[in-house]
Structure 1
Amino acid sequence: MPPRLRPADPAAVAAALAAHPRTKADSKLLTKHFMAVLAERAPGRSVEVRVPPFAAVQVIEGVRHTRGTPPAVVEMDAETWIALATGELVWGDAEASGRVTASGQRADLTPHLPLVED
């Protein structure tokens, strides 16, 4: 896992999730937190998940990539990522509405979402 991607303090995550409206700092904290959780739960290097400008992480076992564009790329904005990670939005709806851009094998993150635990 990239050194800057670590799960955040649970109290900070709860506070950021409860914030309405959410600040840029809240979105950054939640994006990096949920990217770190995804990296822990779905280790690998075959899919690159990008949430600009906050984070990118390579996850999911499969064809390893070392340079250039990985075999699969998923990109979305922070609010979409947070909604997917928390279960407020499902993958199919996000993709159908154009909120997610996904290409390549294994680019469907459905088996790994949501990331919150009940």
Structure 2
Amino acid sequence: MGRARIEDAAGLAAVRQWQTDAAAGATSSRDVRALAVRYTLQLLAEQAEGNTLEVRVPPFGAVQCIEGPRHTRGTPPNVVEMDAATWLALATGGLSWVDGLATGAIHASGQRADLTGHVPIV
């Protein structure tokens, strides 16, 4: 049985709240950040179906996405990992993939560890 899908209205409300808080220089509550992260990861998995790349945003979630060779056991060969603020900025267009990599905010390993063309999501 799969996870319950986050409804668009609730997910978008959390993303908007995070954007409003970030613009004001405030930190959103943990619940808002968690919902916004999980919702945008859900959208990524839906828009870039596949199992080649694992995108991790600890402690809130991880998804496998992007078509290609399937990974089923052990440590995935293609991983992208970042904190929640970086992920939400990337997912909403406030941070580019290239800039995130250049600053070290995004950690990517593996030949297929690339979200170019898949972000922003929202």
State if a TM-score over 0.5 links the two structures: yes
Question: What CA distance in whole angstroms lies between the structure 2 residues aligned with 1:67 and 1:7?
Answer: 30
Report the CA distance shift for 1:102/1:12 in structure 2 as closer, same or farther (over 3 A). Answer: closer
Q: 1:100 aligned to 95, 102, 106, which one?
A: 106
2:35 counterpart residue number: 29
1:14 counterpart residue number: 16
Structure 1: gaps of 5 or more residues: none
Q: 2:79 aligned to 73, 76, 80, which one?
A: 73
1:60 counterpart residue number: 66
Q: Would you say 1:44 and 2:46 are equivalent positions?
A: no
- After superposition, the C-alpha distances for 1:76-104 in whole angstroms (9 at most, x for unaligned) are 00000000000000011111101010011
Report the CA distance shift for 1:113/1:7 in structure 2 as closer, same or farther (over 3 A). Answer: farther
Shift of 1:18: 2.1
Are the aligned partners of 2:54 and 2:62 in contact in 1 as well (CA < 8 Å)?
A: yes
Question: What CA distance in whole angstroms lies between the structure 2 residues aligned with 1:12 and 1:107?
Answer: 27
Q: Which amino acid aligns with 1:54?
A: F
Q: Which amino acid aligns with 2:19?
A: L
Structure 2: gaps of 5 or more residues: none
Aligned length: 115
Shift of 1:7: 4.9
The RMSD of aligned alpha carbons is: 1.6
TM-score, normalised on structure 2?
0.85
Are the aligned partners of 2:37 and 2:87 in contact in 1 as well (CA < 8 Å)?
A: yes
